[in-house]
Amino acid sequence: MAKQYDVLFRLLLLGDSGVGKTCLLCRFTDNEFHPAHISTIGVDFKMKTIEVDGIKVRIQIWDTAGQERYQTITKQYYRRAQGIFLVYDISSERSYQHVMKWASDVDEYAPDGVQKILIGNKADEEHKRQVAKEQGLQLAREYGMDFYETSACSNLNIKESFTRLTELVLQAHRKELAGLRAAAAPADLARLDEDELPPAGAEEAPKACWC
C-alpha cells in the first residue's frame, strides 16, 4: 500500500486570546470561517497533509488557548513543536506588544532550533488597524522570522504561511530526512509522549470547526 505521508511534523499556534488562532487553523484545514469567538480550552489540534518539494508532509497543528489561565497546560506542548506561529491581531496593538512575551516563552520552553513565523491576522479589518505592516516587518526582522499578514476571514496568505513554516521545518530537519525517499516507514518527528496525548477523540476526528 502506498505511504500516506513521508513525514509527520508538529506545528503550534500561539498568541493572545481572540487574535484568530482557531480561525486560521479552521481556514487552513477545512476552508471554513465562523464569526463567533469560542475560546479554546487548553489545547486542540487538527491534521492536514500537504506536499512540499515532492515530500508528503502530514502536519499536526496544535491550537492553544490564548487565555492566561491555561498557560500552565499549553506550555507543556511547546517542547515537541518543530514550528511555531506567533500570532497577533492587526487591530490590536496590545496583542502585538504581547508577541514579545510569547516569543520569550518560546525561548524558554520550546526546543532549540524550533522554526518561527510571525503572523499579523485580521488583515481584512483595515479600518480598525492599530498595527502598521511596517511594525510587523520590523518585529519579524528583530527576531529573524518570516512575516505574513493574513486573514482567516478573507483567506489571505493562509496556505502560504502554513506552507512556508512547513518548508522551514523541512529545511531545518534536512539531515534527518536525507534518506526519506528510500525509507519504508514514515519519519515521525512529532511522536506523542504519553503525558501529552491529545484530548480524547481529537485525533483524525477533529472537533466541529467553530470558525
Residue whose CB is less far from ligand GTP, 17 or 135: 17
Q: What is the DSSP string of 127-175?
A: GG--S-HHHHHHHHHHHT-EEEE-BTTTTBSHHHHHHHHHHHHHHHTTT
Answer whether 169's CB lies under 8 Å from 140's CB: no
E strands, the chain, where?
Answer: 7-15, 43-52, 55-64, 83-89, 115-121, 146-149, 187-188
Among 23, 81, 99, 158, binds ligand GTP (CB under 6 A): 23
* Binding of ligand GTP by 153 (CB under 6 A): yes
Main-chain dihedrals φ then ψ at residue 96, nearest 5 degrees = -70, -45
Residue whose CB is less far from ligand GTP, 68 or 112: 68
Report CA-CA distances (Å) from 113 to 82, 84, 126: 8, 11, 34
* Binding of ligand GTP by 74 (CB under 6 A): no
- Total binding residues toward ligand GTP, as defined by CB under 6 A: 24
Among 20, 83, 120, 136, binds ligand GTP (CB under 6 A): 20
Would you give the binding string for ligand GTP spanning residues 30-49, x where CB under 6 A is met? -----xxx-xx---------
Minimum CB separation of residue 62 from ligand GTP in Å reads 12
Minimum CB separation of residue 18 from ligand GTP in Å reads 4
Residue numbers of the site for ligand GTP (CB under 6 A)?
Answer: 15, 17-23, 35-37, 39-40, 65-67, 121-122, 124-125, 151-153, 211
